[in-house]
Amino acid sequence: MLGTNGVSTPVQSGGTVPLVTPPQGGRVIFLGVRATNVDPCAVKITGAIRDPATKQVRVDARTVNLSPSGDGYGVSVDSSISSFANVPVCPNEWASTDAFDQPSRSS
């Protein structure tokens, strides 16, 4: 995930994720990828979040080119938000609770 400081870090199970303001407004979770044994060109990544109460899901999918990380992996590029899934969380008119400080499930 890409943080508000522009640096990506791994998502931890049960951890928190930053809600970031993208250029188009609102709030999103930027979810990236670190992968090996795949062609780094034209990789389709999908990020999703589900409201545990209503079971509604919000999804963002896009095709990206991964950048070599030097250790055999291809990664989303911190300086390019277009290489991350931009999962929308705000405005939040689809969930039963506020997105801030609330548990959700992501994929």
Over the stretch 45-69, which tens digit does the pLDDT of each residue have?
A: 999 988 777 888 889 999 999 999 9
CB 21 within 8 A of CB 64: no
* Mean pLDDT along residues 34-50: 92
Across the chain, mean pLDDT equals: 85
Q: Look up the pTM and report it.
A: 0.80
- Predicted local distance difference test score (pLDDT) of residue 107: 47
- The answer for residues whose C-beta is within 8 angstroms of residue 8's C-beta and 6 or more apart is 1, 2, 30, 32, 75, 76, 78, 84
pLDDT band at 101 (very low <50, low <70, confident <90, very high): low
* Mean pLDDT along residues 5-9: 92
pLDDT for 87 beyond 60: yes
